[in-house]
Chain A
Amino acid sequence: MIGETLRLKVAAACAISPSLRHLRLVAADGGKLPPAAAGAHLQLVLKGATRTHRNAYSLISRPGARDAYEIIVRRVPASRGGSAFIHEQIKVGDVLEAGWPGNLFAPVRTARRHLMIAGGIGITPFLSYLADFAFGGADYALHLCCREDEQHVFDPWLAGKSGVSVHWDTDGRRLDIPALLAAQPVGTHLYVCGPAAMNDEVLELAAAAGWPASHVHCEHFGSALSGGEAFHAFLAKSGVEVSVGEDESLLEAIERIGVKAPCLCRGGACGVCVTPLLEGEAEHRDHYLSAAEREAGRLILPCVSRARSGRLVLDL
Chain B
Amino acid sequence: MLHSDIKSRPIYTQLEPDLSGSQHLLIVEGDTVLPGRLDSLAGTFAPVEEQLHTWLVGTQAGGLGLGKVWRLPDVADVVDAFACATRGYGIGDRLYVQGTEPFLWSVAKAAAIIGFSADQIHLHHAGSLRRRVWCTHCHTVTENVTTSIASCAGCHRHLLVRDHFSRRLGAFMGVMVDAEAPGEVPAVEENFA
Q: A residues engaging B (CB < 8 A)? A: 112, 181-188, 190, 207-215
Contact = CB atoms under 8 A, between A and B. Distances in A.
B42 interface: no
Given A207-B20, A209-B22, A210-B20, A186 B119 contact: no
A112 B116 CA distance: 10
Nearest to B23: A210
B22 A185 contact: no
B120 interface: yes
Nearest to B111: A186
A186 B91 contact: yes
What are the nearest 6 A-B pairs in CB distance?
Answer: A187-B115, A210-B92, A186-B115, A212-B119, A210-B22, A186-B89
A185 B18 CA distance: 18
B43 to A, nearest CB: 22
Contacts of A210: 18, 20-22, 90-94
A186 B22 contact: no
A185 B88 contact: yes
Interface string B73-117: 000000000000000111111100000000000000000001111
A118 to B, nearest CB: 19
A271 B182 CA distance: 56
Interface class of chain B by DSSP: loop
Contact of B90 (A186, A190, A207): A186
Nearest to A211: B91
Which range holds the interface residue count of chain B?
Answer: 10 to 19
A210 B18 CA distance: 9
Given A182-B90, A182-B92, A210-B93, A187 B114 contact: yes
A186 B117 contact: yes
A215 B92 contact: no
B21 A187 contact: no
Contacts of B88: 185-186
B117 A187 contact: yes
Contact of B92 (A112, A187, A209, A214): A209
A185 B89 contact: yes
B117 A214 contact: yes
A27 to B, nearest CB: 41
B20 A186 contact: no
A112 B119 CA distance: 16
A73 B181 CA distance: 71
Nearest to A115: B91
Contacts of B90: 182-186, 210
Nearest to A190: B91
A181 B91 CA distance: 9
Interface in B15-29: 18, 20-22
A210 B94 CA distance: 9
Nearest to B20: A210
Contacts of B115: 112, 185-188
A112 B113 CA distance: 10
Nearest to B118: A214
